[in-house]
Amino acid sequence: MAALSNSSEDACLVINAGSSSLKFSVFQGGSASEIEPVVTGQISGIGTAPHFQAKDAQRRVLADGVLDEVGPADRAGLLGFLLNWIRHELKGATLVAAGHRVVHGGTRFSAPVRVTATVLDQLEELIPLAPLHEPHNIAAMRALAQVYPSLPQVACFDTAFHQTQPWQSQTFAIPRELTAEGIRRYGFHGLSYEYIAHRLPQVAPELANAHVVVCHLGSGASLCAMRAGHSVDTTMGFTALDGVPMGTRPGAIDPGVLIYLMREKGYGADELEKLLYHKSGMLGVSGLSNDMRDLENSDLPAAAEAVELFCHNVAKQVAALAGSMGGLDAVVFTAGVGENSTLVRARVAEKLSWLGVAIDPAANRAKATRISAQESRVPVFIIPTDEERMIARHTLGVIAATQLSRAA
C-alpha cells in the first residue's frame, strides 16, 4: 500500500453519488485555478458489501478492500469512514469544503450554490425530473451534513451550463402554461461541457470563438452545440432520456410509442420508467450488454447493429446541432466511449464526410489530441473530460465568495 506525503495545503472533497456507489476525489492547490487531484477512488457495493478503493495522483493503489468493520454501512457511516481515512492519509491538510455533482437544478439553480437545509428541500422537489440520480445526490449531501455539520458543501449542477441557450432551444411546442411550470429542455452533462469549453482554447486557441459540437459519449450520452464556449443547443431535454441512444436509455423516441404501450400493452408509469431507463439503448438493441467494449468485441449481429445505430444517431445529431448554431468549425469527442472507442470515432467521422470531416486513422488509433486528417475541413479532437475538476473549482469559488461577502 502506497502512502501520501504530508501536506499543509487546504483540500477540497468532490463527491459523485450514485445508487450503489460513491465516487470521490480530493483536490489540493494554491487556488481554484491551480488545484490538482491527489486522491481518487470510490466506495462501491453500498447497501450490500461496501468495497473501498483509492489511488494517488500517480494511480498507485492506496487502499483496496471490503469495508466490513466500519460500523453502519449506510451513507452516513461510509462517509464518516471516508473522512477519517482522508484525515489520516492527508496528514497536515485541512478539508475546507465538499462539492457535489447534482444532475438537475431545474429553473431555480443556474449556478453552483452553497448547500443549506432550504436548498436540500428545494432539490427534493426536482427528484421527478431525474429519478435515477437526484435522490442519491441529495442523500450524500444530507449524510455528509450529519457526520460533518461544520463542513461547507456546494452543489454543482449538470444543467447550469445550458442556461445560456436561446429560448427556442429550451422550449417544447406545448401550451405555454405547461412551459411556465418548468416543462422545458434543460440539458445535462453541463459540467463536462464546461470543462471542454475551458480546455479547447488551450488546445486550439484559434477555436476560442468557434462553432463546436462536443460529443459526450459514455453510458449516458449527449451532444452539445457551443458557440464561443457557451451552450447554444443540446440533445438531452427535460430529463436525461432524450437525444442519442445510450447504454440502457433509448434516446429520442416517438411519444406515441409510450401511449401505445400504455393502451395496448398495459404499461404503467413504473414499467415505462424501467423500460426507458434500464432496458433500452445498447442493451435493448443488442440483447447482450450496455458496454460499448462488449459490443465491439462481440460477433453477434445484434451487437454490430447496436453499434451502428449509436454511430448513426451521433452523426445525425452532430449535423443537426451544426444547423442549430449555423456552422461547424470543430468536433470534440469526450467521455468514456468518446475518448476510448476508435471504432465509434471512425464511424461517426465517416458518416460526416459530406460535411468535410475526415480523420487520420493512425492518429485515431493512437488517441491523439487532434485526430483529423490534413485534408479535413473540420478539425476533430479527443479531449478527456474532467467534471471533478470543475466541481472542485466551483466549490472553492463559492466558498471564497462567501468568505469575501462575510468580510465585507
DSSP 58: T
Spatial separation of the C-alpha atoms in residues 319 and 213, rounded to whole Å: 9
User: Pick the catalytic residue: 56, 158, 242, 329?
Assistant: 158
CB atoms within 10 A of CB 258: 14
88: which 3 cell numbers? 489520516
Buried b (16+ CB within 10 A) or exposed e, 214-243: bbbbbbbbbbbbbbebebbbbbbbbbbbbb
DSSP 6: P
CA torsion 335-383-113-93 (nearest 10°) is 100
- Measured CA to CA in angstroms, residue 403 lies from 29, 119, 252, 395, 408 at distances of 18, 19, 44, 12, 9
Spatial separation of the C-alpha atoms in residues 321 and 24, rounded to whole Å: 33
Spatial separation of the C-alpha atoms in residues 283 and 137, rounded to whole Å: 25
CB atoms within 10 A of CB 167: 8
User: 25 pairs with which residues across the strands?
Assistant: 14, 40
Buried b (16+ CB within 10 A) or exposed e, 269-293: eeeeeebbbeebbbbbbbeebbbbe
Q: Is residue 158 among the annotated active site residues?
A: yes
Rounded to 5 degrees, φ, ψ at 183 are: -85, 95
DSSP string, 83-113: HHHHHHHSTT-EEEEEEEEES--TTT-SS-E
What amino acid positions are annotated as catalytic residues?
Answer: 158
